[in-house]
Amino acid sequence: MTTSSALPKQYDPSEVEPRWRRFWLENGFFHADEASPTVPYAITLPPPNVTGSLHIGHALGFTLQDILIRWKRMQGFNAMWMPGIDHASIAVHVLLEKDLQRREHKTRFDIGRDEFMRRAWAWKERSGSRISEQEKLLGFSLDWPRERFTMDDRANRAVIEAFVRLHEDGLIFRAKRMINWDPASETVVSDLEVDIAEENGSLWEIRYPIVGGASAAGAIVGGASSEAITVATTRPETLLGDTAVAVHARDERYRHLHGKLVELPLTGRQIPIVAVDVMIDGKSWPDPAFGSGAVKVTPAHDPTDYEVSQLVGLPILQVIDAQGRMCDPAPAKYVGMAVEDARKAVVADLEAAGLLGAVKDYKVPRGRSQRTGAVIEPMLMEQWWVKAAPLAEKAVAAVEQGKTKFVPEHETKTFMHWMTHIKDWCISRQLWWGHRIPAWHCACGAITVARETPAACSTCGSAAIMQDEDILDTWFSSGLWPFSTLGWPDKTRDLATFYPNNVLVTGPDILFFWVARMMMMGLHLMGKVPFRTVYLTSIITDENGAKMSKTKGNGIDPLDVVHGATVDQLVERIDIEKPPVDLDALKRTVRKNFPKGVPAMGADALRFAFAALNTTGRIRLSVDRVEKYRNFINKLWNASRFALMNLDGYDPERFEAQLSTPAGRASLGMPERWILSRLQGVVGQVDAALEAFRFNDAAGAIFHFVWDELCDWYIELAKPHLYMSAEVEQDAARNARRHVVQGVLATALETTMRLMHPFSPFVTEEIWQKLPKPPQLPGSLMITVFPRGDASWVDPAAEAEMQLLQEVAVACRMLKQTYGVSPAQSIDVELRVASPAPRAILEHHLGVIERAAKVAATLSADTAAATPAGSAKAVVGGDVEIVMPLGGLIDVAAEKSRIAKDIAKADKEIAMLDKKLGNADFLARAPEDVVAEQRGRLAEEQSRRQRLADALATLSAGGAAGGAAKGAS
């Protein structure tokens, strides 16, 4: 090797990435100036939870955002990408309280609110920057000086302002309603934070004895002989809080019992049998066809029962407390029991009393807290609510008017459906880490809502007021994020410039949690939608379509993909993180799923993979798949390495000057014109694809151009012109030619780097910095100009010519391969073509075929000449025959069957086209160009078939020439 290459054969991201990361940050390239006169383009990063680390879903969404931001920045927009972190109140509680329990065996109530908050802040200071570091690692060009936290001073101000205004507007109110109670974290959670799943349970039948029945009047025991009404329940323990038994008013079976009392077992209480006919959720209730048709009613602990109690007027008896234990109005025996224990006790006591009927296994829908996994207890409590309907109306109208659109478009329906069926949003939480509700309670019963701590009750003037203990749902502050980050409620330059944002990119899983709330808050408080487009990403799953999770051992950590991790490291991590599952089983799963660990592939490969694999729906991600794009990065690296090894003596300014004149352009060879034309093609495709958020198309276009066109064809064809030798050195013409080829290669690569930079910023910056370029360019690729289409470089003639040459070369390779001719061995071929146009092309560029297929080609117009005995033959297009004399090598039988197969294929095509063109309706109604195209195809296929048939006839006639060749199978 003559070149002492400074570049390693394999691309090493670990060496390259840190350098450019530092360089970009130190130069402040990510920072946008709100006062810039250029057109703004803004995206707000969905703030990750402070508890978390960057997972694969973040990595995907953030990568797509960075692609958009870098692309727009290079296009000259004032691109601003707002970073931030969310305080994630309940998640922090779960984390810290678990830790508190483990280390000190204490609950948050043991240490108190102030101490808990002190610890939470200390913890936030310690781990809050971890995510930002990880974001930097992946090269995200976030505007760091703007970074925000949902509990920083400015965010707090915005939250209070929003609360007070919504309260003033009558959109925030206090009400006692049925809520979802999470007994583990002792707080309310919203409907969205409850996961309902069918779990195995039982359906118990219980007999409630009728008071004053035919026999044993008033007796609780000896129920077998008393008249009784049977109810069915999945929750026997709630019996202790029953205040009625309901039957349908028109249910004849129970007509005689209307108004009678039953003895509520185990309680000594008597409750009425009420006749009811109400509509619950659009259905008549109770349903006489279900179970016995009689329903026990527990208004305090069942949403339906509560609703009924309000409609019919029944007392409400709370027998379960905030810790999920039975409480006072329940008989003393059960007080203090956990719900599950009380259930067993009640069932046992009922059985003992002879009041238990049939028991069967039953699938019960059970709600669990998303965060703690605890079974949700429906409870009646006074809470703060946001009146959702008026806010939702504005959001619906804005979407209908196209002020915000969704990509993919069908997500619009999901959004609209939810918005038009929206329920009030419970926003108070009985937690500490979060924004305390700016409301003060007075003994007089009045509540004062204020921006600043008030000195006295606004109603009675008493100074003895106490701030509400509750905090706000995390999503309340998140809903303000697109404008609170820009300085709202102040009228700032930031807001004027960057609100509304152009795009929001997030996962479909938080469409309701977050997107919906931002739309409502933005429209109400800012009067404008928060973003023009909502792009919803795919969901990442493992190869089998299962959601990635730590407890399942199928997750891929994006940072492992960047740095690499051995399987032992993956397993060790399980011991550190201790997810709440069987650790040994998990370790085995991880060893099975990642036998080789995760190879280090670099941020660029991961980012490119995300773009390329991002289709609507879900991405089944695996290490192997990312590896493919790692290989692609390496391919690009090596192509560049090759170029750099052969660019000595290249003068970019001279080349640029040459291209600026018509004569200079004319001096380009056909392959040069072809690759520059293809380059135009890919530039146009990438730009169009990104405009439409078709990241996979954009990445695919780059992939295909670089690998299949630039590397496989252009570089191969350029090689003979690039290699330097003493001979070349003394030949002025060849020198000039070399310089042109160098220029085209360098230009193609340089443009490709700009085109690909948003996807894979590190490797492209590294290569770009090394490429020779004209002077006066910026010091970094990321602030150069994104390639713009230039139609003057589109060259259909060159593309058509190359296509023919490629087809002929591929056919030559195929024949060589079929007959066992080594790729390295050159062989004679004769190209026979009658039509002047293709002949002219072949004549001018025989060298291209010779180079690409490693053959020695001759050209002939005489298609009628006899072929040498033992020749293999192929036909390209309609009339380019490739004759490869193989002497004794050819296996006549194999060759005949191969050609016969080709003929069969042609026959099929011809039959189809004949049918089409024989159809008068087709000729009459199809557009002319389509008809002409089909005619052309038919002619080509017929010509091709003829040539193949001739070849077959020749073979059959001279079949004796066949030798004992090592033929094809």
| 639-698 positions binding RNA, by CB under 7 A | 639, 641-642, 645, 696-697
- Is 165 among the residues that bind RNA (CB under 7 A)? no
Which of 46, 48, 139, 286 is close enough to bind RNA by CB under 7 A? 286
> Please, what is the minimum distance in Å from the beta carbon of residue 76 to RNA?
29
Least distance CB 497 / RNA (angstroms): 35
Q: Is 822 in the site for RNA (CB under 7 A)?
A: yes
Radius of gyration for the alpha carbons in the chain, expressed in angstroms and rounded: 38
Return contacts of 663-670, CB within 8 angstroms, 24+ apart.
667/736, 667/740, 668/740, 668/744, 669/737, 669/740, 669/741, 670/798, 670/801, 670/802, 670/844, 670/845, 670/848
Among 192, 316, 583, 894, binds RNA (CB under 7 A): 192
**CB of 816: closest distance to RNA in angstroms?**
8
What's the closest the beta carbon of residue 230 comes to RNA, in angstroms?
A: 11
- Least distance in Å: CB of 553 to RNA? 18
**Which residue number, 433 or 705, has a Cβ lying nearer to RNA?**
705
779-818 binders of RNA (CB under 7 A): 810, 813-814, 817-818
Task: Choose, by CB under 7 A, the member of 104, 382, 469, 933 that binds RNA.
Answer: 933
Q: Name 502's Cβ contacts closer than 8 Å, sequence gap at least 6.
A: 40, 41, 42, 43, 531, 532, 533
In the region spanning residues 420 to 439, those forming contacts with RNA, defined by CB under 7 A, are: 421
> Is 303 near RNA (CB under 7 A)?
yes
Residue 440, SS3 per DSSP: strand
Which range binds RNA by CB under 7 A, 64-72, 417-425, 462-470, 529-537?
A: 417-425
Separation between Cα atoms, residue 603 and residue 601, nearest integer Å: 7
Which of 52, 288, 454, 684: binder of RNA (CB under 7 A)?
Answer: 288
**Which residue number, 10 or 401, has a Cβ lying nearer to RNA?**
10
Per CB under 7 A, which region of 18-26, 168-176, 313-321, 711-719 contacts RNA? 711-719
Show the site string, 545-584: x = touches RNA by CB under 7 A, - = not: x---------------------------------------
Compute the distance between CA of residue 936 and CA of residue 1 in angstroms, rounded to an integer.
Answer: 51
Please, which of residues 6-35 interact with RNA by CB under 7 A? 9-11
CB closer to RNA out of 603 and 633: 633
Q: For residues 484-513, which are near RNA according to CB under 7 A?
A: 508-509, 512
The single residue among 18, 365, 847, 888 that binds RNA, judged by CB under 7 A, is: 365
- List the one residue from 783, 926, 949, 961 that touches RNA (CB under 7 A): 926
One residue of 26, 125, 252, 281 binding RNA per CB under 7 A: 281
By C-beta, is 196 or 389 nearer to RNA? Answer: 196
Q: Strands across the sheet with 377-386, in order?
A: 187-189, 172-182, 377-386, 425-426
CB of 792 to RNA, least distance (A): 27
Q: Based on the shown chain and the rule CB under 7 A, indicate whether residue 935 belongs to the binding site for RNA.
A: no
Q: Which residues contact 743 (CB under 8 A, 6 or more apart)?
A: 650, 652, 655, 658, 659
Q: Does 917 bind RNA (CB under 7 A)?
A: no
Neighbouring residues of 23: CB distance < 8 A, sequence distance ≥ 6: 780
Distances (CA, A) of 423 to 191, 230, 390, 539: 9, 35, 11, 27
> In the complex with RNA, which residue's Cβ is closer, 253 or 451?
253
Q: Is 196 in the site for RNA (CB under 7 A)?
A: yes
Residue of 125, 252, 584, 624 that binds RNA (CB under 7 A): 624
As a three-state string, the secondary structure of 232-243 is EECCHHHHHHCC
* SS3 labels along 51-103: CCCCCHHHHHHHHHHHHHHHHHHHCCCEEEEECEEECCHHHHHHHHHHHHHHH
Stretch that binds RNA, among 391-399, 673-681, 837-845, 917-925 (CB under 7 A): 917-925
Site for RNA in 509-548 (CB under 7 A): 509, 512, 543, 545
Site for RNA in 592-621 (CB under 7 A): 615-618, 620
DSSP symbol at 451? S
Window of 433-441, 493-501, 773-781, 918-926 that interacts with RNA by CB under 7 A:
918-926
322, 309 contact by CB (below 8 A): no
CB 298 within 8 A of CB 241: yes
C-alpha span between 406 and 629 (Å, rounded): 29
Q: How many residues bind RNA (CB under 7 A)?
A: 89
Spacing of C-alpha 861 from chain mean position: 57
633's CB contacts (< 8 A; 6+ apart) are: 11, 13, 602, 604, 605, 608, 760, 763
* Separation of alpha carbons 80 and 32, rounded Å: 5
Closest to RNA by CB, 80 or 682 = 682
Q: Is the Cα dihedral 922, 925, 927, 928 positive or negative?
A: positive
d(CA 140, CA 762): 11
The count of residues in the chain is 969
Part of the chain binding RNA (CB under 7 A), chosen from 47-55, 64-72, 288-296, 348-356: 288-296
Stretch that binds RNA, among 150-158, 298-306, 667-675, 770-778 (CB under 7 A): 298-306
Confirm or reject binding of residue 824 to RNA (CB under 7 A).
yes
Position among 1, 6, 732, 866 found at the interface with RNA (CB under 7 A): 1
Q: Tell me the pairing of strands 827-833 and 880-885.
A: antiparallel
| Least gap, CB of 113 to RNA (angstroms) | 31
| Residues 827 and 799: beta-carbon distance below 8 Å | no
The binder of RNA chosen from 109, 121, 173, 290 (CB under 7 A): 290
Contact pick of 253, 925, 953, 957 for RNA (by CB under 7 A): 925
**Distance from the first to the final alpha carbon of the chain:** 40
Determine the Cα–Cα distance for residues 540 and 446; give it in Å rounded to an integer.
50
Distance CA(700)–CA(693), nearest Å, equals: 13
Mark the segment that binds RNA (CB under 7 A) among 300-308, 396-404, 572-580, 827-835: 300-308
Let me know: does 837 contact 845? Beta carbons within 8 Å: no
Q: Please pick, from the candidates 651, 716, 799, 950, the single residue that binds RNA as defined by CB under 7 A.
A: 716
Nearer to RNA among residue 341 and residue 627 (C-beta): 627
Q: Which of residues 215-254 bind RNA (CB under 7 A)?
A: 231-235
